[in-house]
Structure formats: structure tokens, C-alpha cells
């Protein structure tokens, strides 16, 4: 009987380790109405602080460009996988949190790869806008549950600003974005 208990304990520990390896090193992250994890609308956009908020992950600084203008970003990675891109505002707080990782869902259960048709059943004109510059060829749609969470969709484009509903139905979530409600 003692042998069976030891075998069951070893099996349970193996399952726990495998589950941790599949999920990743750090805690589960979700993008929701108030941000993600410990980052919210009041979080200062300071690298040392944000790094301290994600001790289980590799946090680095970088620069990206929008419409030709560089801006600072903070990346949260798990190994070689980028989980979050965090941008700042001139007010000194976090402006946006962005993910393109299927490991970081929205608080509403949507993940990168979810089809438009699974979330929306009507025409996109009411809630979506076309991407510009670096995001051209994609569209941005507000989450039905919260106006500060946005989904970026990508798919085959026929040149229109917003693809017709029959085409859009096949598009999939490419990114999930939280925007700070206190920053324009």
C-alpha cells in the first residue's frame, strides 16, 4: 500500500511539473478592463518598477516606431516568447498593454487566433476601425464587454477599409490591447 501511495505522489508531482512547463514559468496573464496582472492605469511607466512586477519573466526595454516616430516600450518575455508589449504616455503612466501571444487571453476568454465570427455576429462598421501605418491591413474592434479592451484582427484583404462581413468572418484575432482610460 505504501508503494502505491509513493507511485501516486510521484505521478501527481510529474503532472504538476509538466503543467508548469506547458503554461510557462510565470503566473497566468490576462488582459482585462483594468490592465493585466499588477499593471493598471496608475502604474508608472518606469522600467525598474515594471521589471519588479514580473519577477518570473524576462523584462527588457526597447524602441518601436509608429508613423516614423520612435517611442519607448517595455517587453515581458517568457524565454523566447514575447508575452506583453507595454507602452508609456507623456503623463508618465502606462498607456497600452499589447499581446500577440495565444498564451495571454483577454479576461473574456478571447485568445489570439479566435475568429471574428466567434465574437461578433453583425456588421463591423459600428465597432471597428481600419488600422493605419504599421497596422494597415488589419482592423481594430472594441471588446463588447469593455471599451478599454480592443481586438486587432488580421486576414485576407481585398483593398477595402473594412472588409465585407463575409470576408471578415474568417479573420482572426492578431492582438489584444488594453488602453489606459485616463490617457488619450
Convert the pLDDT of each residue in 59-99 to its tens digit.
999 988 877 888 899 999 999 999 999 999 888 999 999 99
Instruction: Give the global pTM.
Output: 0.82
- The candidate with the shortest Cα–Cα distance to 126, out of 139, 138, 141, 137, is 141
125 DSSP β-pair partners: none
Give mean pLDDT, residues 118-134.
Answer: 78
Convert the pLDDT of each residue in 1-54 to its tens digit.
554 444 344 444 433 333 333 345 567 899 999 999 899 999 999 999 999 999
Amino acid 156: pLDDT: 84
The CA distances from residue 68 to 64, 71, 137, 142, in Å, are 9, 10, 18, 26
The CATH classification of domain 2-179, taken from the options 3.90.79.10, 2.60.460.10, 3.10.20.30, 2.60.120.890: 2.60.460.10
CA-to-CA distance for 153 and 147, rounded, in angstroms?
16
Amino acid at each position: 500500500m505504501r508503494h502505491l501511495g509513493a507511485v501516486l505522489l510521484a505521478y501527481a508531482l510529474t503532472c504538476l511539473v509538466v503543467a508548469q512547463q506547458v503554461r510557462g514559468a510565470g503566473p497566468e496573464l490576462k488582459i482585462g478592463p483594468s490592465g493585466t496582472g499588477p499593471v493598471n492605469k496608475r502604474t508608472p511607466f518606469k522600467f525598474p518598477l515594471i521589471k519588479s512586477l514580473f519577477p518570473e519573466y524576462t523584462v527588457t526595454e526597447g524602441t518601436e516606431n509608429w508613423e516614423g516616430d520612435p517611442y519607448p516600450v517595455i517587453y515581458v518575455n517568457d524565454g523566447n516568447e514575447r508575452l506583453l508589449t507595454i507602452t508609456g504616455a507623456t503623463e508618465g503612466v502606462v498607456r497600452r498593454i499589447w499581446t500577440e501571444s495565444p498564451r495571454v487571453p483577454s479576461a473574456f476568454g478571447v485568445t489570439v487566433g479566435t475568429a471574428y465570427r466567434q465574437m461578433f455576429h453583425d456588421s463591423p462598421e459600428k465597432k471597428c476601425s481600419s488600422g493605419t501605418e504599421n497596422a494597415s491591413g488589419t482592423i481594430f474592434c472594441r471588446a463588447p464587454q469593455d471599451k478599454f479592451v480592443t481586438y486587432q484582427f488580421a486576414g485576407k484583404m481585398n483593398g477595402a477599409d473594412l472588409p465585407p462581413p463575409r470576408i471578415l468572418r474568417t479573420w482572426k484575432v492578431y492582438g489584444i490591447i488594453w488602453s489606459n482610460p485616463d490617457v488619450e
